[in-house]
Structure 1
């Protein structure tokens, strides 16, 4: 690569990167609109006048900063191929704060006789406080991020992302592709030809895939004109300026204590996920400093809460995918500008009306493929078994999601027919130990990283380190950050508390004892077999290079 004075702020392939990141962000915004209107019944004044302007500012903060950081990093390293970290709304926290914080607060307020409008206001305040709590945890964690990256094997960090990519990202879009094959397969083919087959089209491959998807969706009748829907999409259009909501944050402060069992794990999950994404970026060739990246991630979430949004932001999974697309610095800035305009103008619904998700899902599916591939290619070959182990908890968590959705579709998960422990016996009678899957679902980001790390240390015959990681798993299990769960009406949710995951903690402690014994046996065997004699008997040793 030819050395340069500084990278460019925008290149042609940033257009492709923009479509991928914008689609991801756009889907999150659509989910926010759908859940706030359909589940929480928030009035337009709260959704369009408070939440979406806060979302806009939080996206600007992160996207602009990570674009600037990439530009400065490129100047420092004299590179023109550096890719900004992708950034957007945290999907897991989005659902958690809607269903586990805001909805319970609203229902409890209504049950106590509060009018629905006041209950909605109270639920929104609760969401602000939960979002602020998550941001503070992320900001505080910025100072331990680099140490954790050095401590954890790369396979432990990347395999967790690979599991999330192959399940929660890839599978949904794969199902959508084959549910509408006439619309979905052609854009996917364009993406695969462009980025795997190196075929050049007259316009960027990502843009071509989106345009073909729009044309096929409208041409085949997957979407069509509806005057009522179009009028509904036009209603919220206006100008919504953000403002500070410090008083409302103070009024809802009790939520920090009442819902700490939700806020704490969400903040920690976000922190660990961001650290894993930084490691993924470094494996793809772009090394960023942990502390400022994690700090700005937390600041973006704090800005969201202070300015009206209930939804934390995060460094996104998928940096190697956007890098392989050819995106550099400009895609991040462009994404921040466009998403902010959509949120501040109320045109989210209008864009959703004309551009179906099927038009751009091929880009996101391709990015998931690249992330999973990186889990194997960016780690030593001998660590491949550890990568596979790290994929399993996310696969289990996704399987549980499918099972729960199936139960809800069958009419369970209502106040009249809530989820109950009796379900476990029914599943076991059919040969499925769903209780084990429920356990793996809770804190799967932690368990995936720890199990993969343990496997790496076993492969490297560092049994003492494997034992220490098992003890760390025992601690997390004991306090409920992994495996333990409670039953809710339509879900199984994390159960925090002293001794909450006692059975799993004991299991990990026994595993640690086993590993300490293996370490002792290894040292004993080594002391009883002098190295010169061993070499003389066994001959020269050859080691494969990864």
Structure 2
């Protein structure tokens, strides 16, 4: 008689080290961006960054990473599985840039124009960021109750292809460029990652750890990174323990920001909600089915905790669960990430670590994650839905292309008060047969448009034309209020143009599309 063995997930396995390097590197990059942009773009003093913002970041990362690790442990016990992987979690990159450039910077510039000192303007900008972050958390938390319903309504190809579009552009291509910009340093770690996880070769130590060690050695050995006593001394100055504080009074004093910048806060909150739902779908496709409501609720709670404790930057369930699972990470990588990131933020040691460990040393792991996500978009959906996956990839690629085009314009000296971006640029692009206005339209709300266009394509393939029409009507409604496609010009960017009727041309186009689908559905019913 056979005795059934109980499979219980362990808190730590060997491959959690590999997952830790990928997730910690991703979080570490976000933290470096926060420090850099807050000090250079916003002019925040070091005490504000290290004494208020980073402790809030620490609390939010600890809350989320610990919760998702515990949830994975409990889920594994219930399902009698020891191969379950905790949901990856960290700072939301899109919101980070949006809140700095579209909320905090305008508030700072307006304060200075009104006669405030630089220090006063920085304080007001920080408070505005707190309100924006808090508003995003409220939207994420309130949306937790409809998460499962949205997952049931949206075809898997619609959810996964949206993530694939983000992965192939904003994750993979950037690090691929960086690899070939420094091939002597970048190619060997990439090779280690590929032969370890595609070729299933074992080196005696985790492949992720070996890749990072080789990357550090090559970066310092080739001179990509070199010793500079003055720079190193500067990294030691912020080091001390920072105790998190509650900033409820500052949130209340700046509450008017919520309405003033609602057109930014609402889309960001919705994007975070939809993105987290898509990442839950991605996790289920990889074999780990988590309940949507508590996962989304804690995601919102993490963002709320960030704002209350001083951070201006929302958190989210990260893209890339299939990659962490393929690496062999289970539960411990999430716990370790929360501990390590928390200590870095609470002790001010971020700058010193960045000095010794260049991004080139660990970027191969993140590139691998991007590859796995794109591959899953095709392998975890029915093969006949492949055209829908391709359609879903296109808006993300277009959004990335628009970003690159605007970066090129800024590098050429445009995007200043003297030489601002203007609609005349569109005609200049058209001279080379580049309809850049279409890319700008796809860039805004591309998470929504990718999911909707892929969903429409799925229902066309399945010959459910009425459902395709319903999705087109939803697209028309979202477009009409400016949540996707509609944009406006700023000095150095094109940004979402939220408001009733701002996306009327696209709304009309989607309504005409819905009429077409209703007509086709009627014709098919007549034939049958």
Q: When the two structures are superposed, what TM-score results if normalisation uses the length of structure 1?
A: 0.96
Deviation string 1:34-67 (CA, Å, 9 cap, x unpaired) is 0010001101121000000000000000000000
Match of 2:389 in 1: 387
Measured against aligned partners, the alpha-carbon deviations of 1:132-184 in whole angstroms (never above 9, x if no partner) come to 00000000000011000000000000000000000000011000000000100
Residues in 2 aligned to 1:81 and 1:35: alpha-carbon distance in whole angstroms: 39
Displaced runs of 4+ in structure 1, greater than 3 A? none
Find the aligned partners of 1:482 and 1:199 in 2 and give their Cα distance. 45
Residue 88 of structure 1: SS of its match in structure 2? strand
Aligned to 1:204: 206
**Partner of residue 140 from structure 1, selected from 133, 142, 146:** 142
Q: Output aligned runs, 1:444-523, within 5 Å.
A: 444-523=446-525
Please give the alpha-carbon distance, in whole angstroms, between the structure 1 residues aligned to 2:177 and 2:498: 34
Cα separation, 2, equivalents of 1:461 and 1:229? 63
Helix, strand or coil: the match of 1:144? helix
Does 1:280 pair with 2:282? yes
Look up the match of 2:96.
Answer: 94
Tell me the equivalent position of 1:541: none
What's the secondary structure of 1:30's corresponding residue? Answer: helix
- In the alignment, is residue 413 of structure 1 matched against residue 415 of structure 2? yes
How far does residue 202 in structure 1 lie from its aligned partner after superposition? 1.3
1:348 aligns with 2:350: yes
Counterpart for residue 58 of structure 2 = 56
Q: CA deviation at 1:506?
A: 0.3
Cross-structure match for 1:542: none
Distance 1:435 1:449 in 2: 21
1:323 aligned onto 2:325: yes
Distance 1:4 1:160 in 2: 37
Deviation string, structure 1 residues 293-326 (Cα, Å, up to 9, x no partner): 0000000000000000000000000000000000
Which residue number corresponds to residue 163 of structure 2? 161
Q: Deviations over 1:54-93 (max 9, x none)?
A: 0000000000000000000000000000000000000000
| Conserved 8 A contact 1:274-1:314 | yes
Counterpart Cα distance in 1 of 2:54 and 2:440: 34
Q: CA deviation at 1:4?
A: 2.7
Give 1:258-297 correspondences, 5 Å limit. 258-297=260-299
Name the structure 2 match of 1:79: 81
CA drift at 1:3: 4.9
Distance 1:413 1:90 in 2: 25
Considering only CA atoms, is the larger Rg found in Structure 1 or Structure 2? 1
**Is contact 1:3-1:78 (8 Å) kept?**
no
Q: Distance in 2 between matches of 1:149 and 1:110?
A: 46
* Aligned counterparts, 1:535-546, within 5 A: none
Whole-Å Cα distance in 1 between the matches of residues 296 and 6 of structure 2?
A: 28
- Partners of 2:517 and 2:83 in 1: CA distance: 44
1:147 counterpart SS class: helix
1:12 aligns with 2:21: no
Which residue among 310, 313, 318 is the counterpart of 1:311? 313
Secondary structure of residue in 1 paired with 2:90 = strand
Whether the 8 Å contact between 1:105 and 1:123 is mirrored in structure 2 is yes
2:106 paired residue number? 104
Aligned to 1:531: none
How far apart, CA to CA, are the structure 2 residues paired with 1:353 and 1:330? 26
Q: CA RMSD in A?
A: 0.6
What is the aligned partner in structure 1 of residue 237 from structure 2?
235
Measure, in 2, the Cα distance between the counterparts of 1:5 and 1:175: 43
Structure 1 segment 14-53 matched on structure 2, within 5 A: 14-53=16-55
Cα 1:3–1:503 change in 2 (3 A) is farther
Report the CA distance between 1:5 and its aligned residue. 4.5
Counterpart residue number, 1:525: 527
Unaligned 5+ residue runs, structure 2? none
